[in-house]
Amino acid sequence: MASNPVRLEYATTQAFSVSGMSYAYTYVKAHVENLAYAKDVEIHYRTHDGSWHDIPLHWKANFGDFDVFGSEEIPYTEEFAVRYTVDGSSYWDNNGWANYKVGTFRNTVGGNVMLNRAVAHIGSEPGGGFVFTTSWMEGEIYLNNLSYNKRVGIRFTADGGMHWEDCDAAYAGQVSEGTYATSTGAERWKFKTPTYNYNNASPQFRFAIYYNDLDSGNWYWDNDFGNDYHLDKHDGSTIE
């Protein structure tokens, strides 16, 4: 088990008016390590009067080692933490005891970098009188914009860990998930691995996400709670 089997993936807080109607909400997604079938994930949030309340996140999907929980129906809050309860124990992601603080039209990413989506692809390429089966994956990373100078990408293996390779990602814009208007704080970066001949040494890609803040020298990782992400190579296989 990871030392902390719960991690915020992404959150944004929005408050706006349309045609005389006012709307205010906080949107949250979180990853939890899949420690047991039965599990509860909640947001512990502070309201404008300073009182604290709990509201459950809803199960969204399972991807083997981890589950995704989320909600678009959290009352407006600018401060919260995530609680994960499983097998009688509770675990917290409280942003290093600082809680997550997300003002209006702001968004944030847990641990400063998280996988948002990865998809495997199968293709074919002729050469030398033969047709070769090719394999690659592509996806999207969410991260906090800590500095202008940064290196972001995935460290992956296609042969079960015998050989590892880095694949840098490219900036793709601000994160707009769950937002009504342009929000700042979180960025989207996209990656695509080289197209190689299909490697039969493993039926999966294995990888982790890296984020190197070049101004500070700090490194941030998302490695699926120490398990690394595992993506089946069959065409269209997806984790998010």
- Please report, as a single letter, which amino acid is at residue 144: N
Domain match, 119 and 104 both? no
Whether residue 203 sits in one domain with residue 133: yes
Same domain? 234 vs 118: yes
**Structure tokens, 162:** 């015998």
User: Percent of the chain at pLDDT above 70?
Assistant: 98
135 and 194 part of one domain: yes
Of 108, 138, 172, the residue that ends a domain is 108
Alpha carbon of 140 to those of 64, 173, 220: distances in Å?
19, 11, 16
* Domain contains 1: no
pLDDT value, residue 203:
97
Residue 35 pLDDT: 97
Q: How confident is the model over 3-53, as pLDDT tens digits?
A: 799 999 999 999 999 999 999 999 999 999 999 999 999 999 999 999 999
Q: What is the pLDDT of residues 171-198, one digit of tens each?
A: 999 999 999 999 999 999 999 999 999 9
- Same domain as 96, residue 183: no
Beta strand pairing call for 21-33 and 52-56: unpaired
Write the CB contacts of 2 (distance below 8 Å, at least 6 apart in sequence).
33, 225, 226, 227
Q: Are strands 66-75 and 58-62 parallel, antiparallel or unpaired?
A: antiparallel
Q: How many domains does the chain have?
A: 2
Count CB neighbours of 47 within 10 A.
Answer: 13
Q: Quote the CA–CA distance of 85 and 225 in Å, as a whole number.
A: 16
Q: Encode pLDDT of 71-97 as tens digits.
A: 998 999 999 999 999 999 999 999 999
Same domain, yes or no, for 118 and 222?
yes
Does 100 share its domain with 158?
no
Which neighbouring-strand residues pair with 130? Answer: 127
Predicted confidence at residue 125, as pLDDT, reads: 81
Q: Which 3 state secondary structure label does DSSP give 57?
A: coil
| Arithmetic mean of pLDDT over the chain | 96
Pairing status of strand 106-108 against strand 186-192 = unpaired
Instruction: Say which residue the tokens 């294995």 belong to.
Output: 206
Q: Could you say which of 108, 131, 148 is where a domain stops?
A: 108
pLDDT confidence band for 2 (50 / 70 / 90): low
Could you give the CA distance from residue 39 to residue 74 in angstroms, rounded to a whole number? Answer: 19
> Which SS3 state, helix, strand or coil, does residue 77 take?
coil
Please report which confidence band the pLDDT of residue 132 belongs to, taking 50, 70 and 90 as the band edges.
confident
Q: Which residue has the tokens 């880095």?
A: 166
Pick the last residue of a domain from 59, 77, 108: 108
Q: Give the side-chain half-sphere CA count within 13 A for 97.
A: 0
In a domain, 136, yes or no: yes
Q: Same domain, yes or no, for 95 and 131? A: no
In this prediction, residue 1 has a pLDDT band, given cuts at 50, 70 and 90, of low
**CATH code at 151?**
2.60.40.2440
List all residues 6 or more positions away from 109 whose beta carbon is below 8 Å from its beta carbon: 8, 9, 10, 142, 143, 144, 175, 186
